[in-house]
Amino acid sequence: MKDIAIFYQLCVMNIKQLLAYRASFWITFVLMAGWAFAYIIFVEVLFGHINSLAGWSKGGTLLVLAYYYLFQNISDIFYKDNFEEFGELMRRGELDFRLTKPASSRLLTFLYHMRFDQCASLIVTAGLFMYAFSELETPVSIILFIAGMLYTVLSVLLYFSVLSILSTFAFWVQKSDTFRVLIWNVSQVARYPRHIYTGILGKILTFVIPLTGLASIPAEIALKMHTNGLPLLYAGLTVFFYLLSLLFWQYGLKKYSSAG
């Protein structure tokens, strides 16, 4: 309950900061719209030459892309910038101040700065969902669509856990630029249907570093596709990776000896 109260106060603080800089909301909206439009063009060009992508229609592929942007939007709002800045936070010695606060160190480290201007991205994502629905041959059930949206919460938590593990390695590495680039690109494999990844690579990205299902599984749930029990597996992997990331964070803190 204490952590929930602190999280609420962090949200209030960041919302107040957004209200002081309202132009950021509209700038974010324009930039996000540009990114989404670029990928829509890519999908349109791709399906101008093929009929399906690993068994996925154009509408299904666009739906995966929409769910991908949804979990990215949520991560951008609440924690992505914190992960990207973690190395610099350590280098400047600012991490020490957060570790001494009477609250969860990981909460204050990775959920401190929130980007509520990124809520503008949700408007663009909603438009992408509507476009994907218009390209589907069979209408999506409202109940299944909501089930896919709820499953996205697991994707957000799993993505958080993977980023936490990657960022914790910064306790042993002075130069963190590599991790910053890795964090930026690590979710890109989830942008397209998981079935395009085959062989050993597909198994690694599905079961070892479980990223391919972040957007594909919510889309498969919405489309009522046969998932071979993957939603339950990913739910279990989410719990496993979250606990692993927490234990690894606590181990990393023991190795941390301040910025000096």
Position 248 pLDDT exceeds 60? yes
Backbone angles phi, psi at 53, to 5 degrees: -120, 105
Residue of higher predicted confidence among 88 and 128: 128
Residues 55 and 44: their CA atoms lie apart, in Å, by 16
Give the max Cα distance, the chain. 61
What tokens does 57 get? 């229609």
State mean pLDDT over 92-97.
Answer: 82
**Residue 260: pLDDT band by 50, 70, 90 thresholds?**
low
Residues 237 and 227: their CA atoms lie apart, in Å, by 16
Return the pLDDT at 184: 66
Dump pLDDT digits (tens) for 17-36: 766 666 666 777 787 788 78
Position 205 pLDDT exceeds 90? no
**Residue 179: pLDDT band by 50, 70, 90 thresholds?**
low
Contact 48, 136 (CB under 8 A): no
Backbone angles phi, psi at 56, to 5 degrees: -100, 135
Residues 255 and 238: their CA atoms lie apart, in Å, by 26
Average per-residue pLDDT in the chain?
A: 86
Dump pLDDT digits (tens) for 103-114: 888 888 998 888
Strand residues in the chain grouped as ranges (E): none
Alpha carbon separation from 251 to 164, 169, 245, 254 (Å, rounded): 12, 10, 10, 5
How many CA atoms lie within 13 Å of 62's alpha carbon, on the beta-carbon side?
Answer: 27
Return the pLDDT at 86: 85
Residues 135 and 260: their CA atoms lie apart, in Å, by 56
